[in-house]
Structures are given as C-alpha cells and as structure tokens.
Amino acid sequence: MYSLKPKFMFISIAFAALLAVMALCQSAYAGGECASLGGACDDGGWDPMAKLDEIGNATATQQQSSASWPSKSREQRWGMGSSSTDSKDSDDGNATGASRDEQAAGTVQNASSEAAAQAAPTAPPEPAAIVRSEQAAAILAPLESVTDSDILLDVSENSSTHIAGSVVLPYMQFNEQAGIPKNVSEISRVLGDAGISPDDSVVIYGECLPCGGGPSVATYVYWMMKSLGHEKVAVLDGTAEDWAASGRDTTQGAAALAGKVYTPAETGNYTATYDLVEGGKVQIVDARTVQEYGSGSIPGAINIPYAGVLDGKRIKGEEQLEKIFRLLDKGQPVVVFTNTGMKASVVWFALEMMGYDARLYSYQDWAANQAA
C-alpha cells in the first residue's frame, strides 16, 4: 500500500518553515529591520496594527480621516500605544510600560477631569460695547446723558422696578383694545394728566415683558409722541436694570407730577396710509417673523424681522444696521409694519436713527382695506 507518511512530513516541514518566516517578519516589523531580510517580510501593505484598529471599530473607514484616530483607538480599546516608542520603561528595567489597569485608571481620571471641567460654571462673555454716533444718541439717549431736567417715562406693562423719579404710564393706556392706538385727543389727555406738556424733555424706557423683553413698547410710545409733534423726546439706551447696574437709584414707586394741558401739533410724517402703501411708490418692510411673512404679506414687501435689529434688549450698532438695511434706498420712503405696528416700531425707530424717511403701518389696516 502506498504510504502517506512522506507527504505529511513534507507538509509539516513546509508549514513550520512558513511559521518561522512569519515570526521573523513580525520581529522585523517591531524592530524596524524588515528591509535587512531582503524583502522576505514584504506584506504588500498589510498593517497588523491597522487591522486591530479595524477590528475594534466597525466604522473605521469613516473615522480614520483624523490623523490622531489610530493612536486614540488603540489606547481606548486595546490598551496600546500608537507605536513601540509610546511605552516607557518601568522602574525594574522591563520595557512593558504602564499596565492596562493603570491605563484604565488614567482614562477614568481623565474622563472625570473633563466632566468636572465641563460642569464648572463659566462666566458669560462680556457684551461688546455699542458705539453710537451723535445722530443716533440724539434719539437713543445714553444713560449718562439723562439729566434732572428730563422727565423719565416708564411705559412697561407690569414693571416693579423704576428709575427713581419716573412717571409710570403702561403703554396699554395709549391703546384701545386689539392694539389700536387711541385718538389724538385721548392720548393728549393721558400725557397731560401724567404731568407732561409738549415743551418737556421726555426720555422713554420700558420693556414688553410678555413679548420676552426689548424696547418695542418704548419705541411705540416714542412714535406716538412724535406723531403728536413732540420735539424733545428720546428712548433710553438701556433698561431700569442697566440703570441700577450703573450705580444709579431705582425704586418701586412712581413720581406724581402736577397735571398739565397737552396741546398736540399732530403730523402725519410718521404714519403710512393704505393709499400710500397700495400705490407702490414706497419700500415696504414686513417686520414680523419669517413664519408670519411666509404665511402671507403685503405684495412687494421684504422681510426684516424686528428681533434682527436687536442685540439682546438693545438696538444694534449702526455698522450692523447698515448691513441689515443694505437693500433699502435712503432716497425713497420706507413703510414698516407688523400685525398691530408695535413691534414694527423697533425697526421703524432703527431706520429713523439711520437717517431713513420711515413710516409705521399695521397689517390689520391692510387686511381691513383689502376686505373692503
């Protein structure tokens, strides 16, 4: 019978030789001496370390775009350095580096340190200073420009803190229901009863608290007083909280001034009519949100949301406003509207501050005339 023993012996010898060559290649790879073997260890580009990385991460092809990913991968999953030089000799002279337990402890400690650093409260960044031109400061009064000769008028809805000496007139007292302003005679009576005359210098401040804050109620009452012909009127460039933060006095009470007669000199230079808007000879700005604008607007209107001209609770600086209004022509009147006009007054005021001929309007009026 034919014997298979020589054949098995041959296969065993060949297999042993193959294992020896592989062992030499692995040793040469670790020592960087593979070239000295005459190319016997040429693996065609196969990298055992990269293979470990691939085995440990199913999405290796997506993450290897980061140059630091392989070393991090080995450290986190295999307890290995990126190369043999990553390990440091231990005190007993063995080049084994830190044990896996020590590396795991270090990983936990690093993670704890990172978590603690993330949990630690950080101070909010200081708001950038807003520089106003003289033209802007004439109607948007800096805190330090207010004097004892000015009447401070707080028009907030439910404010419990007022600048000391302020007259308190919530903006709703100037409106009929549904956000429609009272007529000229009624607004004049409200101002006169509060001790304000057309000759007084008035600085208006206040926030629309249900609206999330911001000066819309102050700019709205400013627009009313300008429409009455009041010359010496401005909006405070800040809030009662800003006033207190600057070291000035605030109070929970309100000033009571002797009543006066307010005689208006009404002008239509600040209010748009339906005929003006419908005539197509003005630029139209929809100051509502993008969603409201998308649901329907006045034909030809562009959208500049009122929140876009605000930096927190203050009106943005002129350099930023210049970019926001870059599509508008200063040589042509601009009509700004929201549903009732109150929030639109912020954009209207910013346009006035920048030297535009701006007028205020309401979408309610447009819809009513369209229905008629």
pLDDT single digits (tens) 124-178? 445 567 889 999 999 999 999 999 999 999 999 888 899 999 999 999 999 997 7
> Residue range 59-75: average pLDDT?
41
As a whole number of angstroms, the distance between CA 158 and CA 107 comes to 54
pLDDT at residue 243, as a whole number: 96
As a whole number of angstroms, the distance between CA 20 and CA 271 comes to 95
Q: How many domains does the chain have?
A: 2
CA 259 to mean position of chain CA atoms: 45
**CATH code, domain carrying 175:** 3.40.250.10
| C-alpha dist (Å) from residue 109 to 73, 153, 166 | 18, 58, 57
pLDDT at residue 44, as a whole number: 46
Query: Which has the higher per-residue pLDDT, 194 or 67?
Result: 194
Report the SS3 class of residue 84: helix
As a whole number of angstroms, the distance between CA 304 and CA 115 comes to 41
Q: Predicted confidence band at 310 (pLDDT cuts at 50, 70, 90)?
A: very high
pLDDT digits (tens, 9 = 90+) for 17-47: 444 444 444 444 344 434 333 344 444 454 5
Report the SS3 class of residue 358: strand
| Helical pair 216-227 and 344-353, crossing angle rounded to 10 deg | 70
Q: Does 59 map to a domain?
A: no
Do 246 and 334 belong together in one domain?
no
Amino acid code (one letter) for 198: P
The whole-model pTM stands at: 0.67
Do 302 and 245 belong together in one domain?
no
pLDDT digits (tens, 9 = 90+) for 233-283: 999 999 999 999 999 999 999 999 999 999 999 999 999 999 999 999 999
Question: 154 CB contacts (<8 Å, ≥6 apart)?
Answer: 162, 163, 166, 167, 168, 169, 205, 206, 240, 254
Mean pLDDT in the chain?
Answer: 78
361 contacts 277 by C-beta, under 8 angstroms: yes
Do 241 and 327 belong together in one domain?
no
Q: What DSSP character marks residue 370?
A: H
Do 282 and 247 belong together in one domain?
no
pLDDT at residue 158, as a whole number: 83
pLDDT digits (tens, 9 = 90+) for 85-137: 333 333 333 434 444 454 544 544 554 555 545 555 555 445 567 889 999 99
pLDDT at residue 114, as a whole number: 54
Question: 365 CB contacts (<8 Å, ≥6 apart)?
Answer: 274
State the residue range of the domain holding 354: 274-371
